[in-house]
Each structure stands twice: as structure tokens, then as C-alpha cells.
């Protein structure tokens, strides 16, 4: 069973030139290309971005935002576990994990109905974790439901705002000059106390 017939985006290197996709600036842009064996009366080649329709199982709703505000989980589904990745995984790695899971599923000996059900579950998790808005709400809900006593702002769990790369190394503290200034101030304090006592006695 071909992945293209089930509506699954696959790596362009493993397909005949029917479907290919690429990632552009965190938003998935699908490019559809008809093969040369197109049916008569259809265009032999058509290429252009395909705008995905609104997800039927979208998490974005006023009710889910209210749940997240109260610290209630908006879904019981573990989308990260379904794709076999951890939180904080980059959008590029989400695509890689999705393709890997699809390939593993294709290698299993499942009947067509069962295969479609499993693929629909993978597509649902992929659609949520590859969309910035969907994933931001999902991650926020996870953080709020895990610790409802501590409020977490949405930007705190948004992976697009977390610093990428290692932080710069800290400069070593100048212990010697700091200690010298401390000794100088201590000597000045002792000397001023001694002088004030001496002057008061006289």
C-alpha cells in the first residue's frame, strides 16, 4: 500500500515524483506535483502551496483555553509518546519522527482498515506538534495540568522562544582584587574606630 494513497507526506527521495514537501520558516508548506502518468484531461504538472484546511480535531478553542487556565488537561492523548519524541523536540525532528513511525507502520502486517486507523492517529499527533499554535496550547496545557498550583505563562513553554544553543561561558570571578578591596575596607573601619576612641579619650 503506497503512502501517497493514504494521504501521508513522505520523503521526496523515497517517492516517485508525486508528493513532496518542505519546511519553510516553521510552517509546513506542502507542494503537490502530479506524475507524468496523469489521467487524460488533467494537468500534467501542477505545483503550488497547498493550504491545509482547519483540523477536525484541532485543540484550539475557547473551552480548551479555559481548561488550561484552570489547570485541567485539555486531552488525555500523549501526542509526544505517540510519535516517540520528547518535549522540546524541534519542528524538524517532529517531521523525521512522523516519517519514521509511518515507515514502521507500513512494515507491519496490518489489514487496510487497521492501517488507516493507526495512520489517522499518527497524522493527528503530527498535525498538532508541527503547528506552532496547536503545539503552544498543547504544551501549555501539559505544564498547567502537571502543576496546577503554579501558574505558567504560554510563552514559558513555547519552544520557538526558548534560547537555542549553549549559553556563553561565565567569566571567572576576580577573587584576588575583591579580597584586597575587602581587606582595605576592613582596615579602614578598624583604623577609624581606633582613632575615634583615641580622640575621645584625650
Domain boundaries, the chain: 4-156
Is the pLDDT confidence value at 167 over 70?
Answer: no
Distance of CA 165 to the CA centre of its chain: 15
User: Which H or E run includes 153?
Assistant: none
Task: Give the pLDDT band of residue 119 (cuts 50, 70, 90).
Answer: very high
**Residue 22 vs residue 151, higher pLDDT:** 151
pLDDT at 134 over 90: yes
Which residue did the predictor score with more confidence, 107 or 202?
107
- Name the strand (E) or helix (H) holding 186: helix 175-201
Element (H, E) at 40: none
Pairwise CA distance, residues 88 & 143, whole Å: 12
Locate 190 and state its grid cell: 578598624
**Could you tell me where the DSSP H helices lie in 17-152?**
62-70, 79-83, 91-107, 112-129, 132-146
What are the distances in angstroms from CA 3 to CA 57, 85, 109? 22, 22, 15
Q: Report the phi/psi class of residue 88: left, alpha or beta, with left for phi > 0 and alpha for psi in -120 to 50.
A: left
- Statement: 4-156 belongs to CATH 1.10.287.110: yes
Determine the Cα–Cα distance for residues 74 and 147; give it in Å rounded to an integer: 14
Report the chain's mean pLDDT, rounded to a whole number: 75
Q: Tell which wins on pLDDT, 31 or 106.
A: 106
Amino acid at each position: 500500500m503506497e503512502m501517497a494513497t493514504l494521504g501521508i507526506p513522505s520523503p521526496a527521495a523515497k517517492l516517485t515524483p508525486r508528493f513532496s514537501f518542505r519546511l519553510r520558516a516553521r510552517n509546513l508548506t506542502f507542494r503537490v506535483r502530479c506524475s507524468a502518468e496523469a489521467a487524460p484531461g488533467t494537468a500534467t504538472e501542477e505545483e503550488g502551496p497547498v493550504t491545509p484546511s482547519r483540523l477536525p480535531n484541532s485543540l484550539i478553542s475557547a473551552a480548551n483555553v479555559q481548561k488550561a487556565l484552570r489547570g485541567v488537561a485539555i486531552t488525555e492523548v500523549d501526542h509526544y509518546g505517540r510519535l516517540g519524541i520528547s518535549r522540546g523536540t524541534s519542528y524538524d525532528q517532529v517531521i523525521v519522527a512522523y516519517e519514521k513511525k509511518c515507515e514502521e507502520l507500513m512494515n507491519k502486517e496490518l489489514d487496510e482498515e487497521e492501517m488507516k486507523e493507526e495512520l489517522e492517529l499518527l497524522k493527528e499527533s503530527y498535525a498538532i506538534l508541527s503547528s506552532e499554535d496547536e503545539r503552544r496550547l498543547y504544551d501549555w496545557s501539559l505544564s498547567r495540568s502537571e502543576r496546577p498550583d503554579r501558574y505558567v505563562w504560554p510563552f514559558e513553554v513555547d519552544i520557538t522562544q526558548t534560547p537555542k544553543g549553549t549559553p556563553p561561558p561565565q567569566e571567572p570571578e576576580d577573587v584576588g582584587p575583591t579580597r584586597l578591596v575587602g581587606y582595605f575596607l576592613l582596615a579602614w573601619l578598624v583604623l577609624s574606630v581606633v582613632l575615634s576612641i583615641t580622640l575621645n579619650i584625650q
